[in-house]
Structures are given as C-alpha cells and as structure tokens.
A and B are shown apart, each in its own frame.
Chain A
Amino acid sequence: MKRLRIEELLQRNVWDVGKKPHIEINMDACGSCESKLCVKLCPAGCYTVVDGKVLFSYEGCLECGTCRTVCPQGAVKWSYPRSGKGVYYRFT
C-alpha cells in the first residue's frame, strides 16, 4: 500500500467542475496572514503557498466550509457551485 497524494485522492471522485469559481479569495488579506490555516486544514489541498503567496484553485473543492470557518482574515467569499456542478458523491 502506498500513500496517495491529494490529487490522486480527488481523482477518485466524480466531478463536473464549473467554469466559474464559486469561492473568491481576497488575496490582499493573505499577504499579512501568518497562520495560513486554509493551507493546512483544507481537506482538498485547494490552497497552496508558492513563494510566500497563497494560491487558490477551486476545481478540487469538496464544498465543506472549512476555509470560511478557519480564515482569520475573513478573506473567503464562500458560496456553492451552481447548476449542480462540483463534486458528486456516490458512496459516502
């Protein structure tokens, strides 16, 4: 058994990813944020740090609500994908 990377885990799911992001991040607030809890706690690894900057990609979002709960900056403008897009759970 080998450890799966987050991308591999997410690939196991059914997706219909929309063209428009359903979550918007106010990146200005991220610059001054020390804890960057989104990066550590988002279960889909949607937040990564590159060169000290937070990068966000909505495509693998599991629509859980963790980031909007933990962001100390209130920088997450959170909503749901429309038209039934996003993750599609079958066996959960």
Chain B
Amino acid sequence: MVRVVVGIKWVPNTQAVRFDPKTGTLMREGVPSIINPPDLSAVEFALKIKERYGGEAIAITMAPPSAVKGLEHVLGMGVDRAVLISDRAFAGADTLATSYVLAEAIKKISRDVGKVDLAVFGQETIDSSTAHIPAQTASWLRWPYVYYVTDLEIKDDKVVVSRVLEDRVEKYELELPSVISVFMESIEARDVRLLHKLRAKIEKPIVVWSNKELKLDPRCIGLKGSPTMVSKITWTLEVPRKKIVYKPKDPEDAARWLISMLLKDEKTSKIFKWVVGG
C-alpha cells in the first residue's frame, strides 16, 4: 500500500497567449488555464504506482479556485482525492514560498490522512520552466529527491528509481518517503473516464485548505515570503515558418539539403558557422 501525493500546477495555456508587438504586452483575455502538461505525466506515473502497489493517489495544487476544473480532470483520470490550497495570502509566491506551502500541505496530509510515501511532480512548468518546485519541496521535507525519473520499484521501505540522462540510465536506491520528478515525455497520460468523472462530480472529493487550516507564518508565504524578483522580461521575436517541403532520397540527402538551406539564409548561416566553428 502506497500513498502517493502528486503536485500539479494550474497554468495559463501559453499556446493561446499572444504577444502584442505594438504594446509589448501579453494578450491573455479569455485564455483559459490548463494543467501544466508535464504534470499530467506525473499524474499518470502516480496512478501506475497506485495500480501496481495498491493504495491511493492524492493530487495537490496551490492555485486560485478556478483550478477545481483541473483537479476534476485528474480525478477523472483516476486520482482518489484532491487538495486545493487556495488563499489570497498565498498569492504572488515565488518557488521558495510555493514549495514551502506544498511541503507543509504534504505534512498535513501525512498527519490527517495517513503517512505519505512518495511525492511526485512534473519535470518543469510551461509558464516558467524553473524545475525548482520538486527539489525545494524535498528540501523543506528533508526527503531524498531524484529527477528525470522514468520508472520505480518499491521494496519494503526503500524505492529504486531509474533516472535517464542523455546517454545512460542511472538507478538510485532511496529511503521512503521521497520525492521524484517525472521525465517529461516518458509517459503518456491516460484519458478521463466517465465513471471517475462522475464520482468526482457526485462525491466532490476535493478539500480546500486556506491558511486557516495550514497555519503558516505569514512572513514565509505569498509575496512576503518570496525573495525572487523578476528584474526584466525581454521578448524574442517569433520566426515565421518558411513552409518549404523537400522530399529527400535518403537521410544523407536530407542532411545535405538542410545544411545547404541553413547556409543560404543570412541569419541561420551565421549561427551555423558559429556552431561548427567557422
């Protein structure tokens, strides 16, 4: 029996956020939020563990109330219950303050529901790509942490995780409880199921925790607890697609053609020459 907590982030659908070159602002009007896509792999991973070893999967997110929509989605995938950590006091948090709140929430789940064995996160988020959260949450919890995980095996109170790097797979043995983040494209999320979604709608297995429940020091949460400052954002221009289709004879022909095209273009030829050293 394993109790897995899986963290998800409710992020703006960055695909749909357009950049207005005239005003230099982001056009977010009417853009709905989605579950950070790499986190769906984490949910799938958590569900697989639950299926293999029995137990339960609990989703947590620190987000505004609209994130209930996302929690319903993962409940629809088969997660057993969900915690929405939502309070104005948590708003404006950087990764430090966020991971602090998440760690405290995981502790509270351990106290209220039962011992948490594993906390699973996605590799990174599409709206900030820091990959801080799982590592920092592990630090607050003082649990071991491994990232880029593709597989795991639990033996008694230990877990052996596989972590992929570019050219090898490493195996680590960790003490439970521990924290892992799931290698982004390693696992495909399952579909929402009618019965799971129906249960989510009827039983509403989502609790909302504000700081009344978590009782955290106001100096450590939200904007106050966030030492990170964004000093400046600059934009890289969108490169229009050329839409040239070439049908190569073989891979070598394809490579030759591609290189010749890259060298023909003024911009890419510079980069190309720089990369290959002249």
Contacts and interface: CB of A to CB of B under 8 A. Distances in A.
Asked if the two chains touch in their complex, CB atoms less than 8 Å apart, one says yes
B30 interface: yes
Given A15-B13, A50-B245, A84-B73, 7 more contacts: A14-B31, A15-B16, A19-B188, A83-B191, A88-B32, A90-B30, A90-B32
A51 B13 CA distance: 36
A14 B247 contact: no
B129 interface: no
A12 B17 CA distance: 9
Nearest to A15: B15
A16 interface: yes
Contact of A83 (B13, B18, B73): B73
Contacts of B15: 14-16
B15 to A, nearest CB: 6
Given A15-B16, A91-B30, A83 B192 contact: yes
A84 B32 CA distance: 13
Nearest to B190: A83
B88 interface: no
Interface of B: 13, 15-16, 18, 30-32, 34, 73, 76, 188, 191-192, 241, 245, 247
Contacts of A12: 18
Contact of B192 (A16, A50, A51, A82): A82
A26 interface: no
Interface of A: 7, 11-16, 19, 50-51, 82-84, 88, 90-91
Given A16-B34, A82-B191, A83-B73, A50 B247 contact: yes
Nearest to A5: B243
A90 B188 CA distance: 28
Contacts of A91: 30
A16 B13 contact: yes
A16 to B, nearest CB: 6
Nearest to A82: B191
A84 B189 CA distance: 13
Given A14-B16, A14-B31, A51 B73 contact: no
A19 B190 CA distance: 10
B188 A84 contact: no
Nearest to B30: A90
Given A7-B241, A82-B192, A51 B30 contact: no
Contacts of B188: 19
Contacts of A13: 16
A10 to B, nearest CB: 11
A45 to B, nearest CB: 12
11 contacts: A7-B241, A13-B16, A14-B13, A14-B16, A14-B30, A14-B31, A14-B32, A15-B15, A16-B34, A50-B247, A83-B76
Nearest to A14: B16
A20 B247 CA distance: 25
Nearest to A50: B245
A51 B247 contact: yes
A19 B185 CA distance: 11
A23 B18 CA distance: 28
Contacts of A14: 13, 15-16, 30-32
